A and B are shown apart, each in its own frame.
Chain A
Amino acid sequence: MLNLALEAGRTHTPEAVLFWFLAPLAVAAALGMLLVKKAVHSALLLAWVMISLAIIYIAQDALFLGIVQIVVYTGAVMMLFLFILMLVGVDSSDSLKETIKGQRPAIIFVSIGLIGLFLSLLGRATIGVPAIGLTKANADGNVQGLASELFTKYVWAFEVVSALLITAALGAMVLAHSQKTKSKFQQRDLSIARFRGKSLATAAGLPSSGVFARHNAVDVPALLPDGSPSKLSISQTLDARGDMIESKIFELEAREVEED
Chain B
Amino acid sequence: MSTSQLLGTDPGWIILVKGLIVFVFCVLCTLLAIWAERRVVARMQMRLGPNRVGKFGLLQSLADGVKLALKEDLIPKAADRIVFVIAPVISATTCFISFAVIPMTGRVSLFGHKTAMQLTDLPVGVLYVLAAASVGVYGIVLAGWSSGSTYPLLGGLRSSAQVISYEVAMGLSLVAVFIYAGSMSTSEIVAAQHHWWYAVVLFPSFVIYAISMVGETNRAPFDLAEAEGELVGGFHTEYSSLKFALFFLAEYVNIVGVSALATTLFLGGYHALPGLSFTENWLGGWFTMVWFVAKIAFFFFFFIWLRGTLPRMRYDQFMKFGWKVLIPFSLAWIMIVSTLRVMSQRGTSRAIIVAFTAGVVLLILLISTLFESSQKRAEKRDALGDVPPPSFPVPDLARFTHSELEQRNV
**Interface, chain A (partner B; CB < 8 A):** 38, 40-41, 44, 47, 51, 63-64, 67-68, 70-71, 74-76, 79-80, 82-83, 86-87, 90-91, 141-143, 192, 195-196, 200, 203
* Chain B neighbourhood of A51, CB < 8 A: 135
Name the interface residues of B131-166: CB closer than 8 Å to any CB of A. Answer: 131, 133-135, 137-138, 141-142, 144-145, 148, 153, 156-157, 160-161, 163-164
The 7 closest A-B pairs by CB, nearest first: A75-B134, A70-B131, A195-B390, A67-B127, A83-B160, A71-B131, A67-B131
| Interface of B, helix, strand, loop or mixed by DSSP | helix
- Judging by beta carbons under 8 Å apart, are B134 and A196 in contact? no
- Judging by beta carbons under 8 Å apart, are A71 and B141 in contact? no
- Judging by beta carbons under 8 Å apart, are B127 and A71 in contact? yes
* Chain A neighbourhood of B144, CB < 8 A: 86
Docked CA distance A203–B393 (Å): 9
Write 18 A-B pairs (CB below 8 A) sorted by A numbering: A38-B80, A40-B80, A40-B145, A41-B83, A44-B142, A64-B127, A67-B122, A67-B124, A74-B135, A75-B130, A75-B135, A75-B137, A76-B167, A80-B160, A82-B160, A90-B148, A90-B153, A143-B184
**Interface, chain B (partner A; CB < 8 A):** 80, 83, 122-124, 127-128, 130-131, 133-135, 137-138, 141-142, 144-145, 148, 153, 156-157, 160-161, 163-164, 167, 171, 184, 390-393
Task: Known A40-B83, A71-B131, A200-B393; judge A142-B137 contact (CB<8 A).
Answer: no
* Chain B neighbourhood of A40, CB < 8 A: 80, 83, 145
- Judging by beta carbons under 8 Å apart, are B127 and A68 in contact? yes
* Chain B neighbourhood of A80, CB < 8 A: 160, 164
* Chain A neighbourhood of B141, CB < 8 A: 79, 82-83, 86
* Chain A neighbourhood of B153, CB < 8 A: 86, 90
User: In the complex, which residue of chain B has the Cβ closest to the Cβ of A194?
Assistant: B390
The 8 Å CB contact of A70, one of B134, B160, B164, is B134
* Chain B neighbourhood of A82, CB < 8 A: 138, 141-142, 145, 160
Given contacts A70-B131, A75-B133, 17 further A-B contacts (CB under 8 A): A40-B80, A41-B83, A67-B124, A70-B135, A76-B164, A76-B167, A79-B134, A79-B163, A82-B138, A86-B144, A86-B156, A90-B148, A91-B148, A142-B123, A143-B123, A195-B391, A203-B393
Docked CA distance A90–B156 (Å): 12
- Judging by beta carbons under 8 Å apart, are A83 and B122 in contact? no
User: In the complex, which residue of chain B has the Cβ closest to the Cβ of A73?
Assistant: B134
- Judging by beta carbons under 8 Å apart, are B124 and A143 in contact? yes
- Judging by beta carbons under 8 Å apart, are A86 and B145 in contact? yes
Q: How far is the CB of B149 from chain A (nearest CB, A)?
A: 9
* Chain A neighbourhood of B171, CB < 8 A: 71
Q: How far is the CB of A197 from chain B (nearest CB, A)?
A: 10
* Chain B neighbourhood of A44, CB < 8 A: 83, 142
* Chain B neighbourhood of A203, CB < 8 A: 392-393
Task: Known A68-B127, A70-B134, A76-B134; judge A196-B145 contact (CB<8 A).
Answer: no
Q: How far is the CB of B284 from chain A (nearest CB, A)?
A: 32
Name the residue among A51, A67, A196 with the largest chain B CB count within 10 angstroms: A67
Q: How far is the CB of B133 from chain A (nearest CB, A)?
A: 8
- Judging by beta carbons under 8 Å apart, are A79 and B123 in contact? no
* Chain A neighbourhood of B391, CB < 8 A: 195
Docked CA distance A57–B350 (Å): 44
Task: Known A63-B122, A63-B123, A90-B145; judge A79-B184 contact (CB<8 A).
Answer: no
User: In the complex, which residue of chain A has the Cβ closest to the Cβ of B150?
Assistant: A90
* Chain B neighbourhood of A47, CB < 8 A: 138
- Judging by beta carbons under 8 Å apart, are A196 and B390 in contact? yes
Docked CA distance A38–B390 (Å): 54
* Chain B neighbourhood of A86, CB < 8 A: 141, 144-145, 153, 156-157, 160
Q: How far is the CB of B89 from chain A (nearest CB, A)?
A: 13
Q: How far is the CB of B6 from chain A (nearest CB, A)?
A: 18
User: In the complex, which residue of chain B has the Cβ closest to the Cβ of A183?
Assistant: B382
Q: How far is the CB of B124 from chain A (nearest CB, A)?
A: 5
Docked CA distance A149–B392 (Å): 70
- Judging by beta carbons under 8 Å apart, are B392 and A195 in contact? yes
Docked CA distance A82–B157 (Å): 9
Q: How far is the CB of A87 from chain B (nearest CB, A)?
A: 7
- Judging by beta carbons under 8 Å apart, are A141 and B390 in contact? no
Q: How far is the CB of B392 from chain A (nearest CB, A)?
A: 7
Task: Known A86-B156, A195-B392; judge A63-B124 contact (CB<8 A).
Answer: yes
Task: Known A63-B123, A142-B123; judge A83-B135 contact (CB<8 A).
Answer: no
User: In the complex, which residue of chain A has the Cβ closest to the Cβ of B387?
Assistant: A196
Task: Known A67-B131, A75-B135; judge A83-B161 contact (CB<8 A).
Answer: yes
Docked CA distance A41–B146 (Å): 10
Docked CA distance A156–B104 (Å): 43
- Judging by beta carbons under 8 Å apart, are A64 and B131 in contact? no
* Chain A neighbourhood of B160, CB < 8 A: 79-80, 82-83, 86
User: In the complex, which residue of chain A has the Cβ closest to the Cβ of B145?
Assistant: A86
Docked CA distance A244–B128 (Å): 55
